[in-house]
Amino acid sequence: MALSSRLIMIYDILLARFGPQGWWPILDFEKHKGLDPLTDCGYHPGNYDLPKKPDQMFQVIVGAILTQNTNWQNVVKALFNLSQQKLLDPEIILKTEAKVIAEAIRPSGYYNEKAKKLRIISQAYLEQDWYKKNHVLKREDLLKLWGVGEETADSILLYVFKRPFFVIDAYTRRLLMRMGIVGTPLKYREYQDLFHSNLRPNFELFNEYHALIVRLAKSNCRNKPICSTCPLKRYCPPRH
């Protein structure tokens, strides 16, 4: 089977099993006030219009920084803290001492480094007018910012600016290896080219595909996989 057909098949199977995922979650802090921050709130399955407003855009950008080296539950805790303290705003972040920001985002880990990253990206967001509808953010400009690597840059481009950059994370690498699509580890852009060269460049497709891979990784394709109920079991080479 051609790689393009195989990638489409994987997508179709995951979508049929799990349905639209509604990534990137947009938290309405008033609506979710008082709720357990670990619950799955803020997802918008099938709605690819979000984020629409500057505050929603900035929330996703902050989330992309905070999610580095941690899980989404910890990010939600940190975002709630920032919101409660009225810090989820680029101008306010730049006016606030780094140690205050760091304490608010402590649940996300590496909080001193991430506080610095948030100040750097807040400055770029304001100076370069990222929030304007007609703004075209370049990938290379994102990668020039301290603390923004390829995965973070592509998350921002895909989920904030609706640009067709496939996000390559540890879950995606694991799936490609286990499915036998990749035999040895590749560089980030080599993994990405597998998707860019074999799928139509569509941000909705890339958005949903990446989110579905994350969903599979949580339910089945874990470090210690649960293969018995995996929707891809039939197409995955036997593990020894």
- Give the chain's radius of gyration (CA, Å): 18
**Distance between CA atoms of residues 207 and 210, nearest Å:** 6
- Nearest to residue 83, comparing CAs of 71, 70, 69, 66? 66
41 in any annotated domain: no
Alpha helices in 2-89 (DSSP H): 3-18, 54-66, 72-84
35 in any annotated domain: no
By the 10 Å C-beta count (0-12 exposed, 13-18 middle, 19+ buried), 34 is classed as exposed
155 & 63 share domain = yes
pLDDT at position 111: 98
- Nearest to residue 10, comparing CAs of 223, 187, 220? 220
Question: Cα–Cα distances in Å, from 100 out to 14, 87, 123, 200, 211?
Answer: 42, 9, 17, 44, 32
87 & 181 share domain = no
> Angle at Cα 153 formed by Cα 148 and Cα 158, nearest 5°?
160
- Residue 136's domain comprises 54-159
71 & 149 share domain = yes
- Nearest to residue 59, comparing CAs of 89, 19, 15, 81? 89
CB proximity list for 92: less than 8 A, separation 6 or greater:
86
Indicate the SS3 state at residue 125. Answer: helix
65 & 129 share domain = yes
87 & 137 share domain = yes
pLDDT at position 123: 97
CB proximity list for 155: less than 8 A, separation 6 or greater:
24, 64, 67, 167
Contact 232, 12 (CB under 8 A): no
Contact 156, 64 (CB under 8 A): yes
Domain boundary at 138, 159, 180, which? Answer: 159
144 & 80 share domain = yes
- Nearest to residue 48, comparing CAs of 166, 159, 209, 199? 159
71 & 121 share domain = yes
- Nearest to residue 85, comparing CAs of 60, 115, 64? 115
154 & 176 share domain = no
> Angle at Cα 117 formed by Cα 167 and Cα 148, nearest 5°?
30
Residuewise pLDDT in 10s, the chain (240 residues): 899 999 999 999 999 999 999 999 999 887 766 666 556 678 999 999 999 999 999 999 999 999 999 999 899 999 999 999 999 999 999 999 999 999 999 999 999 999 999 999 999 999 999 998 778 899 999 999 999 999 999 999 999 999 999 999 999 999 999 999 999 999 999 999 999 999 999 999 999 999 999 999 999 999 999 999 999 999 998 865
Domain boundary at 159, 191, 219, which? Answer: 159
27 in any annotated domain: no
Domain boundary at 103, 129, 159, which? Answer: 159
pTM for this model (two decimals)? 0.95
Q: What is the CATH number of the domain that holds 60?
A: 1.10.340.30
